[in-house]
Amino acid sequence: MNEHLPFAEDLDLLAFGLLEPPETAALRAHLELCAECRARFEEAQGIAALISLSTPAAQPPARVRAALLESISAERARPGASGAPAASAAAPRPSPKSQNFWTRPFLGWAVAAAAVLIALGVIIPQQRRAQDQLAALRAQVAAKQDELDRTRAVLDLLRSTDALRVHLVSSTAPWPWPEGKVYYQPKNGLLFVASHLPPLDPGKAYQLWLVPESGNPASAGIFEPDAKGNAMLMSHKAPMPMKPRTFAVTIEPEGGAPGPTGPQVMVGEQ
């Protein structure tokens, strides 16, 4: 009789390191005596090596290994399974042709499925991390592009030969009094820088106004100074199409006002 048949289903498990220690010792003892099983075991080792090279190294989850071994034990316990122990040493063993076609492939597919699950458990998180890193890089590139666009707009405005330049000062505040400078060009927008601004009360904000020769003032935006009293305000879109006559800064409610209502902090005329 072919004594290697009872061990045939365990060769894949041994190659993948999924066989329990007691069964491992019995199978390795058999491999010392059976050349055909050794050949099959070497083939299974080659398949295991290919799978290990094609997927990132990882330990199989305990639940996957336990489920796999449980299914194998159930398969062996099933009456008539080829892996079940023989009733006696003299009992005839089934020939290879009489084996069920799906008996040995079941273990191969089970091991392959476990390997796929392990690979997916490693690859999918890595793919998600890569996608998150790509999204973060894209956000950084977008932020850098916005910063570059603002820098170019400032340079275009400062280099413009027809840009309006107005100095704003306060004649009532104590020294050092608040002061600022406006660069304005209807095509390129507005740039305002200020210094020595006093801190604001809660719920208040500074607001810059453009006052034309006639008509209502137009707001250029609200701003708050830093701890040193410095501030900057820039608008790519000009608040009005023509050059204003006067620029002024007032203190308004937080969020701004439709028209100047608070105390005037500084003013400048062209």
Q: Are 184 and 166 in contact (CB under 8 A)?
A: yes
Give me the long-range contacts of 261-264 (CB less than 8 A, separation at least 24).
262/204, 262/207
Q: What pLDDT is stored for residue 130 in this prediction?
A: 74
Q: Model confidence over 40-92: pLDDT tens digits?
A: 888 777 666 655 555 454 555 566 566 666 666 666 666 655 444 444 444 45
Residue 104 has pLDDT above 60, yes or no: no
Helix axis angle for 103-159 and 35-54, nearest 10°, is 20
Give me the long-range contacts of 119-126 (CB less than 8 A, separation at least 24).
119/54, 119/55, 119/56, 119/58, 121/58, 121/61, 122/55, 122/56, 122/58, 123/55, 123/56, 126/56
Q: What pLDDT is stored for residue 229 in this prediction?
A: 92
* Mean pLDDT, residues 162-186 taken together: 85
258 burial level (CB within 10 Å; 0-12, 13-18, 19+): exposed
Q: Are 221 and 235 in contact (CB under 8 A)?
A: yes
Q: Report how far residue 237's alpha carbon sits from residue 245's, in angstroms, rounded to the nearest whole number.
A: 18
Q: What pLDDT is stored for residue 41 in this prediction?
A: 80
Name the DSSP class of 249. Answer: E
Residue 14 has pLDDT above 80, yes or no: no
Q: Are 205 and 221 in contact (CB under 8 A)?
A: no
What percent of the chain stands above pLDDT 90? 24
> Of 97, 93, 86, 75, which is closest to residue 10 (Cα–Cα)?
75
Domains and CATH numbers, the chain: 5-86+95-127 (no CATH), 164-269 (2.60.40)
Helix axis angle for 103-159 and 62-77, nearest 10°, is 160
pLDDT averaged over the chain? 75
Helix axis angle for 21-31 and 35-54, nearest 10°, is 130
Helices (H), 160-233: none
Name the DSSP class of 7. Answer: G
* Mean pLDDT, residues 2-28 taken together: 69
Q: What pLDDT is stored for residue 29 in this prediction?
A: 84
User: How confident is residue 98, by pLDDT bands cut at 50, 70 and 90?
Assistant: very low
